[in-house]
Amino acid sequence: MDIETSNDPEAFSEFENTGWNEISVAYELQFGPLTSQSTSTVVEAAQVESGTRFLDVCTGPGMLAEEAAKIGADVSGLDFSEEALAIARRNVPGATFHQGDAQELPFDENSFDSVVCGFGIIHVPDPQKALREMYRVLKPGGRIALSVWEAPGPSNGFGLLYGSIKAHGDLSVPLPHGPDFFQFSDETRLSNLLESSGFNDVSVKTAEQFWNFEEPSELVSCITDSTVRARGLLSAQTEANRQSIIEAVISGLEKFRVDVGKYKVPMHALVGSGSK
């Protein structure tokens, strides 16, 4: 089973790094309450205990690092964005954070008992290279756990967004080429990524997550303020198409309304884990 890589890794990394430096503050506010809903599932799958030597790759604002620190783990985090790291250092003062690339981890082999990566692998030009690095820095018997978004569909937020772009805009506008954002959004493909990178005892579970909004426009600002690729995709549309897409997202949100002024949008995660 082929794992897609970027065909222009330098341009894609530059695009992602610039983007994350611009949006990490907004990401913490708008995605933090969402991705924090799966942190306990990821940390449990990585079998973190008090004293575990723990590494959070693509830490962002440090949600997984914070969860592991609460358990008493010895926490390190890594991200390539200075802005993300500044937030993580503020949120998890007891942890040690490093600036670096997930594809070239600045750690010796056999350094950690648990390595996690929350919604990060889908941003890396060569996902398997990053997985092999995570394998290298884990001790024998150590655990990996990583989360990715579930595939876009009629009953989730990414389905609404990408369905609206497909219907009213152009999904093929030119952006630096990155691997398919949803290539691991399937149990078989996520298992294959882990197994082909050397891990055994692989399993995948779903962690439920929901975006809760009071205003339909909040979903649009989550995308335009707090994402890198989806924001790039939207801003590359013509003005008329962008307006039609936004209107379609807002009207499509009605099916997720659970009460007057309350919208609950499924944004579930797949959590894959395994052992070295």
Question: What residue ranges bind ligand SAM (CB under 6 A)?
Answer: 16, 20, 24, 31, 35, 58-60, 63-64, 79-81, 84, 101-103, 118-120, 123-124
Shortest distance in whole angstroms from residue 31 CB to ligand SAM: 6
Shortest distance in whole angstroms from residue 172 CB to ligand SAM: 23
Residue 53's contacts (CB-CB under 8 Å, 6 or more residues apart) are: 73, 74, 76, 111, 112, 113, 114, 139
Of 99 and 251, the one with the shorter C-beta distance to ligand SAM is: 99
Query: Residue 173 phi/psi, 5° resolution?
Result: -60, 150
Locate tokens 């290298």: which residue? 136
Position with the least CB separation from ligand SAM: 60
59, 62, 64, 67: CA torsion to nearest 10: 160
Of 58 and 248, the one with the shorter C-beta distance to ligand SAM is: 58
Shortest distance in whole angstroms from residue 198 CB to ligand SAM: 20
Shortest distance in whole angstroms from residue 64 CB to ligand SAM: 6
Of 60 and 152, the one with the shorter C-beta distance to ligand SAM is: 60
Residue 103's contacts (CB-CB under 8 Å, 6 or more residues apart) are: 124, 125, 126, 129, 130, 133
Shortest distance in whole angstroms from residue 223 CB to ligand SAM: 13
3-class secondary structure, 125: coil
Shortest distance in whole angstroms from residue 191 CB to ligand SAM: 20
Of 241, 228, 246, 259, which Cα lies nearest the Cα of 123? 228
Could you say which DSSP state residue 152 is in? P
Burial label for 173, CB within 10 Å (0-12, 13-18, 19+), is middle
- Give the separation between CA 248 and CA 252, rounded to whole angstroms: 6
User: Looking at this protein, which amino acid is placed at residue 58?
Assistant: C
Shortest distance in whole angstroms from residue 76 CB to ligand SAM: 13
Of 205 and 257, the one with the shorter C-beta distance to ligand SAM is: 205
- Give the separation between CA 56 and CA 204, rounded to whole angstroms: 19
Of 211 and 216, the one with the shorter C-beta distance to ligand SAM is: 211
- Give the separation between CA 148 and CA 193, rounded to whole angstroms: 12
**Rounded to 5 degrees, what angle do the CA atoms 221, 227, 230 make?**
90
Shortest distance in whole angstroms from residue 57 CB to ligand SAM: 7
